[in-house]
Amino acid sequence: MSVQIIRDRASLKAAVASFRQDGARVALVPTMGALHAGHMALIEAARRPGVRVVASIFVNPKQFGPNEDLARYPRREAGDTRMLNDAGCDLLWAPSVEEMYPEGFATTVSVSGVSEGLDGAERPGHFDGVATVVTKLFNQVGCDVAYFGEKDFQQLAVIRRMVADLDMAVEVVGVPTQREDDGLALSSRNVYLLPEERERAVALPRVLGVAARAIGRGDDAAAALADARATLESAGFAVDYVALADAETLTLDPAPDRPRRLLAAARLGNTRLIDNIAVELG
């Protein structure tokens, strides 16, 4: 059976109601399209006995800044639909901007704390846009569980905080970052990289791995972060940040006995890449 494509809320409500009548739970995989193996890993994680999987494709204008890549963000719904169909997705929710944000729309969901540093500082308003659209998607689909990739680690933390604070009855599941054979994190924006930039891009996960191992064995964290930044800059990156954060709260300079995450964002040419890695003790 082919994946069902729905573009209006009334039809979405009816389709989800039919899933419920069959006794199924509903899993949501929110995306902005330009799907790749990382998204397919989310679909695979969501597929369980008694679960119907809904994927959404919506390039959300509210999470793009005025100088960001909204206009050129890759859109390829036909190919995405084929991938979802092959992966066993049950329903594709693909609303228009007008369907998602009708005339008069005036509400913003804002999550303080976890949203304020790192990408939140580099991209003002970005996580307000994320929290707003995810709230709408949760309400529209009425999902029991939602799956997000750990590559966007701060986004995942923002959504978890929002769900907890607003008593949303949605289980949020993080799925490990999917990578190319050389370690580069899969991203829809990787298609922007020129061939020479793609060769250099692998420095990002490698540098994070070196720094995470150094910090994990007890080396000076500030020195490890400085070395990581210098190595990335020497590889041609313009570095937005390389930071060590608490894996739950994303506060910087976390205690060594807390779960910690090393996060980075840097640009190669016109392409901004992000990545993160857990810091293991020992």
Q: Which of 15, 35, 39, 154 is catalytic?
A: 39
How many residues does the structure list for the chain? 282
- Residue 255 belongs to domain with CATH number: 3.30.1300.10
Considering the domain architecture, whether residues 36 and 93 belong to the same structural domain is answered as yes
Considering the domain architecture, whether residues 136 and 237 belong to the same structural domain is answered as no
Q: Per-residue pLDDT tens for 127-171?
A: 999 999 999 999 999 999 999 999 999 999 999 999 999 999 999
Considering the domain architecture, whether residues 94 and 195 belong to the same structural domain is answered as no
Q: Per-residue pLDDT tens for 196-222?
A: 999 999 999 999 999 999 999 999 999
Q: For residues 282 and 176, what is the distance between their CA atoms, to the nearest angstrom?
A: 21
Which pLDDT score is estimated for 67?
82
Of 127, 143, 175, which marks where a domain is finished? 175
Q: What percent of the chain has pLDDT over 90?
A: 94
Residue 158 lies in a domain: yes
Judged against a pLDDT cut of 80, whether residue 278 lies above it is answered with: yes
Residue 180 lies in a domain: no
Closest by alpha carbon to 73, among 61, 84, 56?
61
Q: What is the DSSP string of 204-248?
A: HHHHHHHHHHHHHTT--HHHHHHHHHHHHHHTT-EEEEEEEEETT
Cα–chain-centroid distance for residue 26? 20
Considering the domain architecture, whether residues 152 and 131 belong to the same structural domain is answered as yes
Instruction: Provide the domain count of the chain.
Output: 2
Q: Per-residue pLDDT tens for 65-94?
A: 888 889 889 899 999 999 999 999 999 999
36 catalytic residue (yes or no): no
Cα–chain-centroid distance for residue 126? 12
* Residues 70, 59 contacting (CB under 8 angstroms): yes
List the domain range (segments joined by +) for residue 124: 4-175
Considering the domain architecture, whether residues 229 and 156 belong to the same structural domain is answered as no
**Average per-residue pLDDT for the chain:** 96
Judged against a pLDDT cut of 70, whether residue 1 lies above it is answered with: no
Considering the domain architecture, whether residues 135 and 195 belong to the same structural domain is answered as no
Scan for tokens 């807390």, then name that residue: 258
pTM over 0.75: yes
Residue 68 lies in a domain: yes
